[in-house]
Each structure stands twice: as structure tokens, then as C-alpha cells.
Amino acid sequence: MSLSDLASPNVVPLPSTASASSASRLRIPRVGVTIAVAWLAVLAVGALAAAAGLTADPLANDYAVISQAPSLAHPFGTDNLGRDVFSRSLHGAGASAIVALVTVTVGGGLGILLGVWAGLRRGIADAITGFVTDVTIALPSLIIVATIVTLAGPSLPTIALTIAAFAIPVFARLGRSATLAVATENHVVVARTLGASGWRILTREVLPGVLPALMPFVLTTLATAIVAEGALSFLGFGLRPPEPSWGGLIAEGRTQLALAPWVTLMPALLLCATILSINVLGEHLREAKR
Amino acid sequence: MTFAWLPRAGRSLLVLVVIAALTCQLAVLLPGDPALVLLGQESTEAQREALRHTLGLDQNAFVRFVSFVGGVVTGDWGTSFTSGRPVLSEILSRVPATAELVILSQVVALAISIPLALHSARAVGGRLDRIVSTGTFLLLAVPSFVVGILMIQFFAVQLGWLPASGYTPFAEDPAGNLSRMVLPVLTLGIAEGAVYVRALRGSAIEALRAPYAYASIVRGASDSQLLWRRILRPSSPTLVALVAISLGVSLGGTLLVESLFAIPGLGRLTVSALGARDLPVIQGVVLFAAVIVVVFGILADIAVSRIDPRSTRVPV
Amino acid sequence: MFRRRASSALIAATIIGSLALTACSGPATGATGDGADTRTAAPGGTLTVALDRELPTLDVTNGLLATQPVLILSNALYEPLMAPAAGGTFTPGLAKSLESDETATHWTLTLPDDVTFSDGSPLTTASVKAHVERLADPASKSSAAGQAAQISAMTITDDTTMVFDLKAPNADFTSLLARTLGMITSTTATDEFGFPLGAGPFVVKDFTPGDSVTVVRNDNYWGEPATLDSITFRMMPDADSRFQSLQSGDVDLIWTEVTSQFEQARADDSLQVHAEPAAVSSLLLNLSSPKFADVKVRTALAQAIDRDAVNAVVNLGEGTPVDSPYSLLGDAAPKVDYPEYDLEAAKKVLEGAGLSFSITSDNSPDSIQRATAVKDMLGEAGVDVEIVPVEGASFLSTLTAKDFEAAQLVTSIFSDPSGGALVATSTGPYNFTGYANDDVDQLLKQASGLTDGSERSALLADASDHLATDLPMLWLTASNAGLIGSNKLAGFPDLTGLTLISVQPSTIGWAAE
């Protein structure tokens, strides 16, 4: 199974996007793009500040302020152990960002390489890649993730790499078809005829064509990975408390939804706003390509 | 063309064999001794040893693989460690709940998305189109577990309109079954619907540009005649492929919604089997889910080539 | 265009905001007690109970049926020979009596004359013997196989009298007969679902594995018939789903160990709490690790943990601090000289010593919260702690393999005096710390052969003092566990002083108007 069903069913890569005309897309106004970029930048700064220890300790219990509503001292309130939800949410943002970036670089990188290899070599390479992809897609992701997490422990690297692994087959498929499209273009054919080395063709002619074509999907994957991490944590297969992650925070706060709704709603709002911003950028990128 | 899927079926079979071989390794990989889980901490080592032998846990992975595949072929998927019932009937007893949830949510998703997508494609940039596009865009940003939590809190706990969770078989109590299905079906269906609207709207806009669409308009066809008779079919391959993939994936278990709403489906069977180290059930569920994904992949191909004979591949 | 989108976002925010507001305005506070119920239950009616785990089978051999949260169902179907009473003692349940000789090695069981299985066939001592023999066979996959193996011989005197000979003295043999071993099932007759018949006040009417069980009144019941016509048990592992279903009226009674739910339920007039401290948590130190070799370090660690604060914050006061394996046993609980909370004394030993270790814990939210609180307190004293959550099924194997530095154990084995020997004797099945002290072994061995209460208490107190000095395990708290139900339910058994929350549902019913 692919990455998207970990996040199921929200973020499914849309196959139609490649062929749909510009008129069919939601036109994103400039100011929307600006706000999305600004939001992600603010979040990144916040997450870095939190990681640098500039906010309250996300794990420190302050038993004097248990389950307090948002205030100046605690902008997002506190949870039932008196921990600062704002700081925990920002640390959660860090975890989500790491998962998303690892997924795109490792999963996307390997997947695209596999796809390009299959697309250029065809034959055996194509068959192997295709088969491995078929197997991965038919495996139920949950059991695999649960097994890996049980084996290796629910640490951030484990979770990030597992989610990245599920992104490989999709990237391989897209990489392969993008390569096939590029490989028939004149400049590649000419380079081949001129006897350029395989490496040169790959780096000079193919990748520059393939990578931009996949950019919108890279952004979709960022969003998918964040939701997948959230869903896994929510189910208890992701980062475990007390380490903050968005899905974990939302799940943890659920016991107190009636008493202290901010513990769940604040990280949920951050999560939704972030996904929305990434989607806005992806949409903008697709538009700009035309 | 009709038999174009045959080589693919052969390849799929190979995929399933590889997956069966992989799941037999789970017994070796998963930490935690099933005999200890079953017999408890106060059991003696001799008792655990005897049980491991009875359960066949002392055989090597290859022997287990051969007997597992042999069993699957003859319809014997093994016996659950915990319940003592055949694995296949264990799995099949969970299918109705998952299937009802998945199929109803697909129906809801399609019932919402097809009219919205077609009509907003008819007037791109119009009022309806802008509302629909913005709405689906926002919906796509809300993960289903957040939707689920909020719906339970709001509709079940605060307003008390609907049950918070649980499942009653339809045959026993149709009204109870449906009222319990509303929230989980909406949680799944709304999210799927948002995806479908965007997919179908794109294809419909393309189809509306085709000469036959103009011809139809010129002949004076009404909007709904035009959209439903002339546009829906040519613009549906992508949607059909999406629905088939989504069905294949979620019929193997929709754990998130099942655990939020306490629905006894395949997802929950999987998790409890994992917790109890019920290896035969885990193997069975993995294989069952893989079979469904593979079968729906093939069905998607067939359906798409029926709708649009020019295409031989699913555009994924 | 953007304005439209912005306004949609605003609407979404408003909806979420108003939801938050309505969520805050809970009902007014009103006290509800756990005490005995004076209202009477009207006969008839049905009850819906939410359990916290999924049962794949209703065969008593499955260990899940002996777990505390499921006892309300097991008791309904397979009424055990013994039932828990206050302070970790046991009184006859289905049995008429269970008496030991002076050595606690030979136990004489008497049954009432008229006991029958639910098909009307007689339940005799021969049935008891066959039942125990079935459990002793590992092929039955019974979680009580180890307990059954403690019995060396069973001698039947007549249909209602038999003698159990034990391999070793065990004064707490009664406790074993309150769970699987005492839940007598027929070895010859099964119900329509294939489960061996029991002799409880209810029989199975409907069973969907992993989802629900419906039981109806057993018309062949030998004792006082059950008040309710039927009970439906729903299996809902998600604690929040259970509580929300209770709030929305889908279910009438839920099992819970989530402290914040007790707190919410006590503030809600329509709900009633039936809970007692029953789950004891402690911090096991792996003595084979050089980090814990020095008893001074272990003492300082004990001094660094404020058990009262753990109870106040993690348990929200729904529980009690613990200082020995016998703390729950009411009057029999020993006075132990366990290290008091003394941060300054702890700092003297620990601060600057650079001690760092990991705490392995099961991954339930409450356990993790407690571990987090302990981590915090140890951090104050200069110890660096990392929490390693381990999933349920591999948790005990991890401990058995001694694959941990420190571990949090949350258990109900301390609900009777036998629990101490399980963790503290050198061969105890729950001795994960590697603790071996000949004096303790002797004391506890002697104690398990004593049926006299006060003499025995003295020995247990001695052993507890050894544990409090040697500190192979640091005691934390006992947190509340139990049921929350609609306040319209009457006839609920009084749980005060019980250490094992084992409810026989036959007396429960809807309060008469």
C-alpha cells in the first residue's frame, strides 16, 4: 500500500492533475500564496525556536497550572499535567517537519532514482522496479508499520524512515512515467545518438526534466507525510507520549475534550492550517507550470 | 483486449506468493512469545515449550511457509491461537462491518461529488464552482481523525442526536445499524468526496471542450441532459480508477474510523491479533488485504478499458 | 476570491470555537459516593456494558476472561468458586466452603447440593476435577495452566466434597479460585457457540467475536435468579469512545482506569462511580545493572519520588500511595518504614553523580503519564531518565528477558497477599529485578504455609521491611479502577475495601421508581 492510505483517505494524489487544464484548477490568489508562505515561515521559526529551547520546556510539568485555558503565559493553555500546549505544539511541528522532509528526501529520492532507472533502462530494471512496487502496494501498511515500530521502537527516525519507505513506490511510478516522457524528447535522443554517457544523460538531460514535473507531487507528499504521522501517532503506532507530535497531542487531549478542549483543538488547528498552506503552494506550483 | 489483464493476473499471483512468504517471517520478527501471552506469566517453561510445539512455532520459516501456502490453496487458512476458530471464518466474520462502512461511504462520496463536480464544471468560475472548489480545498486540509473526534463530540455527546459509537448488524436492527453508521460513514465519505469532486471536475471540464459537447449544446440539450448523458461517461475513467483503488485499500480495514467508532471490522481484528501475537490471524489478514488490493487493481483496469477502450492502462 | 475563502475559514473557526465553548460548560458539580446503594432494583430490563478489550472467545481458558475489567462478564457466565472480600480476603462464591488444614497444603472444598450447569445437569466435585485437569493441559492454551500445575492431586470424597493437595503450601489458594481456576465449566457439554457450559446466573445468547456479547438470565440457575433480563457487553478498546458512549447514553456502564473520567463522572449527577484503588504501580530496578548496585543510590531514588504528588497529579487523587506489596490489604497492611520523600537527601547522593537510565513502561496513556511524572521528579534530583514505551504483548517478555534498566510495572497481582511472593522471592514468576534475599524467601515461604492471620501479617511486615531497605523496587501508587454507570442503576454490590474489582452483575438492575 502506498503512503496515502496511512493517511487515508484525505490526501490521495490526484492522477488527473497532470492532464487537467489550467481552467480546471482552483485559482489561488496571490495573497493566499503569500499567507501560506508566511504561515509556514512563522511555523518554521517557531519550531526552530522551540527546538533551541526558547519556549517553555514541553515536558516540564507545572502542577500549579493544570488544565488552564489559554492565557498570556500559556497562549494555547496547559494540559492535565500542567505542560504548556503552545510549546508542545511547536515541538510537534518540529517532529512533523522532520517526518515530512525525510519522506521527501529519502522516499522521494530513492523512488525517483528507481523510477528513472526503470524508465531509462527498461527491460529487467523495469520489471524489477515494477514488481517491487506491486508487492509494496499490496502490503497492508498498518501491519508493516506496527511490526517495524514494535521491532525498532517508536523513535522519530524509525517513524520518519517507515513513512518514507511507503512513499518510494509512488515516486517510482511517477518517476518512471516522467522519465518515459522525457526520454523521447529530442534533446535526449540527440544526446544518445551523440554517444553521451549514461550518467551525463541522467544528470544533464533527464533529471532536469523529471524533477520539475514531480514538484507538485513532492508538495502533496509533504502534506501526506504530516497527516500519516498524525494518524499513526493517533493510533498509537507513531511517536509516543511524552514526546510531542501533532497526532499524539490530538489523541492525548481527547480524554479531556470536554474539560480542556484547547489541548486537542490547538494542535489540530495548527495541523490543518499547515496542510492547507502546503496544498495552496502545491496548487500554485501546478498553475505556474502552465 | 478483453484478456489483456491475463498476464497481469499472473504477475499478481506472484506478488501474493511473495507476500505470503514475507508474512511467514513475521513470526520470527515480532518480539513477544505467543506461548507466554497465552499461558501467562505463572506458567512453567515446560508448559510453554509443549504449547509452542502444539502451535508449530518450533518449525522453521520455510516449513511454515509451505504449509501456509498449501493450506491457503485448499481453503484452510489455519486456526486462530486465541479463539480456536478457523482464520478464514474469523476474517469473513469481520468483512460485513468493514464492507458496509466502506461501501456506504463510497456511495455518500459519489452521491455528493458527482453532481457537485459536474455542475461546477459546467460553469467554471461561477458561484457554485467557487464554493465547491474552496470547500473541497478546505476539507482536504482536515485529517479524518480530527473530523471524527469533532463529529462525535458535537453530534453525539453535545447534541445527543446520534450514537457515539458501536455497531449493530443490519439484519438484527436496521434502524440501529444505520444510525450508528451515520457518523463513521460521513467521516470517511466527506473526505473521499472532496477528492472525487476535484478529480471529476477536472475531467469534466476537458470533456465539455470536446466537439460532441458543443454539438449537444447546439442541439439544445438541457444542462442536466448534457452533463449526465454526454459528459459523465467520458470524464469518469479517473474517478472509476480512484474509487477502485480506494475500495481495494479500505476494504482491507479502515482502522482509524473503526477504532474511533468501535466498529468490529478487519482493522480492529488486525490490531487485536497483533496485540495477542495471534500469528495465523495476522498472516491471514495480510494475505486477505493483499488479495483485495490486487483484485481491485485488476477490476479498475477492466472498468477503465470498458469505459474508454482507447486506454489500456490506468492513468496512475 | 480570497475574501470568500477567508470567510469560509472564519466560519470554520467560529464553529470550532463555539464547540469549544459548549464543551466547557459542563453540568454543575454534585457529589456521588461509592458507598452501598439503598435503592432497590426492579426485576427485568436490559443493561448495556462497555468493556475495554476485545474477546475473541468466551472460553474461560482465554486469559482475557480472568482480567479484572472482564470479570463482570466472566462472573455472569461462570460464577467462580470464591469471591473477593475486603482487604484481599476471599469468601465462598459458588462454593459452600473452602477450608485448609494447618499447613495450607490440603484444601477441602464443599459445594452446595443443588448446583447445576446452565443446561440443568449437576455440577459435582467430579466436574471440578475435570475442569482443573483440562486447564492443566497446555494444549487447552489456558492462562491458568501454571496455577493448575500447583495442584498435585485431587481426591473426591463425595459429590459435594473434595480435597486439593498442593505441591507446596499456599495460604492464598482461595484467591486462585476467584478467577479462571474457580470458574468451573463443563467438560462434556457446550452451548450453541461451542463454549463449555458454566454455572453462572446468565447464559450466552449472542456472541460476535471482538464486538459484543449478549447474555440472558439463566432459568436453570441454582441460586437467586438474576434481576436483569439480559445484559449486552460491547467491546470498546478506546477509552474515550467508551466514556463518550456513556455520556451520550449508548451504554449504561463502562469499565475504566482513566483518572480524568472518574473526575468528570463525579462531577456529573447522572453518573455514579464504582471504583477502588486496584492497579498498583511500582518501579522495578534491574539489580544486574551496575547503575543500581549501590543500595544508597536506590534509597536516594526512592527519596526523590514524591508518591503523594504522583497520586495527586497523575491519579488526580483517584488512588492512594503505596509502600509495600501488601498496602491494599486494609487492616492487614503492614506499617512499613519506606523511605520518605526527601529531595535534599536524594540530591546529596544523586546530584552530580551523572546517573542516567531508561524506564521501560507499557504504552497506555496513564502509565506513560506516571512515568513522565517520575522522570520529572528524578530530574529534579539530578538523574537523567529516558522513557521507553513498549507495546502490551512484548512488555512482559521484555521484563522476563531482563531487557530493561528500570521498568514501571502496573498490575493487579497485589490484590491479595500472594502478590508479594510473586515479585520478591528469588524464584517468583514476577521477579524481574533479580532480587534474591534468603531471609525474604524464608519469611514468605513460611507465610504461605500459615493460615493464621495475625501470625502471617507479622511475617509479611518483616518481608516488607526487607523490601523497603533493599529497594529492588520503588513503590508508587495504587490507582482507581472500576466502573462508571448511570445513577439509575441499583443493587450495585458494595466495593468498599475490595482490592479486586470483581462484580457479580446478578443483583444489578434498574432502580424502582
Nearest to B165 among C54, C236, C430 (CB): C236
pLDDT at C137: 87
In A, what residues contact C, Cβ < 8 A? 27, 29, 31-32, 59-61, 63, 66, 80-82, 149-150, 153-154, 236, 240-242, 252, 254-259, 261-262, 265, 269
Nearest to B19 among A26, A139, A142 (CB): A139
Question: What amino acid is encoded at C112 in this protein?
Answer: P
- Residue B14 pLDDT > 90: no
User: Which SS3 state, helix, strand or coil, does residue A261 take?
Assistant: coil
Nearest to A61 among C2, C26, C376 (CB): C376
Confidence of residue C30 (pLDDT cuts 50, 70, 90): very low
Q: Do C363 and A80 touch (CB under 8 A)?
A: no
Q: CB–CB of A3/A228 below 8 Å? A: yes
pLDDT greater than 70 at residue C23: no
Selecting from B47, B135, B163 the residue whose C-beta is nearest the C-beta of C146 gives B47
Yes or no, beta carbons of A154 and C264 under 8 Å apart: no
Residues 6+ apart with CB under 8 A from A72: none
* Listed residue (B26, C134, B27) closest to B35, CA to CA: B27
> Residue C79: helix, strand or coil by DSSP?
coil
Q: What average pLDDT does range C3-25 have in this prediction? A: 39
State whether residue B58 is helix, strand or coil.
coil
Average pLDDT for C125-146: 89
Percent with pLDDT over 70 in chain C:
92
Given a contact cutoff of 8 angstroms between Cβ atoms, the answer to whether C30 and C267 are in contact is yes
Whether the pLDDT of residue C53 is over 50: the answer is: yes
Whether residue B83 and residue C1 make contact (CB cut-off 8 A), yes or no, is: no
Q: How far apart are CA A254 and CA A262, in angstroms?
A: 10
Residues A160-169 have a mean pLDDT of 86
Contact B94, B266 (CB under 8 A): yes
Q: Which range, of A30-34, A256-260, C349-353, averages the lowest pLDDT?
A: A256-260
- Asked which of B5-14, B136-145, C231-240, C441-450 is least confident by mean pLDDT, the reply is B5-14
Q: For residue A174, which amino acid is it?
A: L
CB contact under 8 A, A9 and B290: no
pLDDT for A14: 41
Contact status, residue B50 vs residue B57, Cβ threshold 8 Å: no
Least confident of B2-11, B179-188, C430-439: B2-11
Q: Is the CB of residue C14 less than 8 Å away from at least one CB of chain B?
A: no
How confident is the model at residue A289, as a pLDDT?
A: 64
Using N-to-C axis directions, what is the helix angle for A30-51 and A262-288, rounded to 10°? 130
* Span C245-283, pLDDT tens digits: 898 888 999 999 888 889 889 988 899 999 988 889 999
Lowest mean pLDDT among A138-147, A154-163, A263-272, C466-475: A138-147
For chain B, give the number of residues: 316
Region C465-480: mean pLDDT is 91
Short-list B236, B152, B136, B138, CA closest to B186: B152
- Identify which of A29, A81, A240 has the shortest CB distance to residue C389: A240
**Residues β-bridged to residue C509:** C490
Mean pLDDT of A134-160: 78
What is the predicted pLDDT for the residue at A158? 85
* C-alpha–C-alpha distance, residues A209 and A186, integer Å: 12
pLDDT at B271: 81
- Residue ranges per structural domain of chain B: 6-74, 90-307
C210 to B36: CB separation less than 8 angstroms, yes or no: no
| CA B298, B300, B303, B304 torsion-angle sign | negative
- Which range has the worst mean pLDDT, B119-128, C156-165, C467-476? B119-128
Please determine, for residue A113, whether its predicted confidence score (pLDDT) is greater than 70. Answer: yes
**In 3D, which of C478, C155, C110, C493 has the Cα closest to residue C329?**
C478
pLDDT band at B4, cuts 50/70/90?
low
**CB nearest to A258's CB, from C23, C309, C363:** C23
Mean of the pLDDT values across residues B220-236?
73
Q: Which amino acid is at A19?
A: S
Q: Across chain B, what does the average pLDDT equal?
A: 80
Read off the C-alpha cell for C389. 514505551
Q: Give yes or no for residue A238 having a pLDDT over 70.
A: yes
Q: How confident is the model at residue A240 (pLDDT cuts 50, 70, 90)?
A: low
B43–C138 C-beta distance less than 8 A: yes
Give the model's pLDDT for residue A216.
80
Q: Which residues from C are below 8 Å from B146, CB to CB?
A: none
Query: Strand C253-256 vs strand C473-486: parallel, antiparallel, or unpaired?
Result: antiparallel
* Interface B-C: count of C-beta contacts within 8 A: 169
DSSP state of C51: E
Contacts of A27 in chain C (CB under 8 A): 1
**A272 pLDDT exceeds 80?**
yes
Is ipTM > 0.85 here? no
Instruction: Establish if B38 touches chain A: CB-CB under 8 angstroms.
Output: no
The percent of residues in chain C predicted with pLDDT above 90, rounded, is 41
Q: Give tens-digit pLDDT for C84-121.
A: 988 888 899 999 999 988 888 999 999 998 899 999 89
**Least confident segment among A195-204, B49-58, C180-189, C249-258:** A195-204
| 8 Å CB contact of B286 and A143 | yes
- The H-or-E segment that residue C360 falls in is strand C356-362
What does the alpha-carbon distance between residue A286 and residue A275 come to, in Å, rounded to a whole number? 17
Contact partners of A by the rule of 3+ C-beta pairs under 8 A?
A: B, C
Chain B CA closest to residue C12: B138
Locus of grid cell 459435594 = C160
* CATH class of residue range C276-479: alpha beta
**Chain B contacts of C400, Cβ < 8 Å?**
36, 41
Radius of gyration of chain B from its Cα atoms, rounded to whole angstroms: 24
What residue spans define the domains of chain C?
A: 276-479
Nearest Cα to Cα of residue A153 among B282, B31, B34, C402? B31
Mean pLDDT (chain A, rounded):
77
* pLDDT tier at B108, thresholds 50, 70, 90: very high
What is the separation, in whole angstroms, between the first and last Cα of chain B? 20
A107 at the B interface (CB within 8 A)? Answer: no
Confidence of residue A234 (pLDDT cuts 50, 70, 90): confident
CB of B191 less than 8 A from some CB of A: yes
| pLDDT at position B39 | 80
Mean pLDDT score, A144-164: 80
CA–CA distance from A36 to each of A57, B140, B146, B200, C11 (Å)? 28, 15, 21, 26, 19
A65 vs A41, higher pLDDT: A41
Please say if the pLDDT value at position C4 is more than 50.
Answer: no
What is the second-level CATH architecture of the domain A34-289? Orthogonal Bundle (1.10)
Residues 17-56 of chain C whose Cβ lies under 8 A from any Cβ of chain B:
19, 22-23, 54, 56
Interface of B with A in 210-269 (CB under 8 A): 238, 241-242, 246, 249-250, 252-256, 259, 267
Distances from the Cα of C472 to the Cαs of B126, C421, C426, C435, C468, in angstroms?
74, 13, 12, 6, 8
Q: Is the pLDDT of residue A13 over 60?
A: no
State the pLDDT at residue C1.
Answer: 36
**A121-130, B218-227, C343-352 — which is least confidently predicted?**
B218-227
How far is it, in rounded angstroms, from Cα C157 to Cα A276?
77
CA–CA separation, A11 vs B1, rounded Å?
Answer: 33
The angle subtended at Cα A57 by Cα A54 and Cα A62, nearest 5°, is 135
Q: How confident is the model at residue B127 (pLDDT cuts 50, 70, 90)?
A: confident
**Chain B residues with beta carbon closer than 8 angstroms to that of A258:** 153, 157
pLDDT at C10: 40
Give the per-residue pLDDT at B135: 86
pLDDT at C27 over 60: no
With 0-12 / 13-18 / 19 or more C-beta atoms within 10 angstroms meaning exposed / middle / buried, residue A180 is middle
Residues of A in contact with B282 (CB under 8 A): 143
DSSP state of A8: T
For the segment C365-390, what is each residue's pLDDT rounded down to a tens digit?
778 888 988 998 898 899 999 888 88
d(CA C326, CA C461): 8
Q: How far apart are CA C411 and CA C68, in angstroms?
A: 10
Is the CB of C238 less than 8 angstroms away from the CB of B262? yes
Specify the higher pLDDT residue, A145 or B90.
Answer: B90
Cβ atoms < 10 Å from Cβ of B220: 8
pLDDT at B178: 82
- Which among A20, A25, A173 has the least Cβ separation from residue B316? A173
Q: Residue C286 — very low, low, confident or very high, per pLDDT cuts 50/70/90? A: very high
Nearest to B117 by CA among B240, B226, B232: B232
Residues A173 and C408 sit within 8 Å (Cβ to Cβ): no
pLDDT at B32 over 80: no
> Cα–Cα distance between B117 and B202 in angstroms, integer?
8
Residue C68 DSSP one-character state: G
- pTM value? 0.79
- The type of residue at B194 is A
Name the residue facing A150 among C26, C243, C391 (closest C-beta): C391
Name the closest residue on chain A to residue B207, using Cα atoms: A20
- DSSP code, position C26: P
Compute the average pLDDT of residues C122-149.
89
How much is the average pLDDT of C31-54?
75
> Distance (Å, rounded) from C-alpha B283 to C-alpha B92?
14
pLDDT of B175 above 90: no
pLDDT higher than 60, residue B196: yes
| CATH number, span B90-307 | 1.10.3720.10
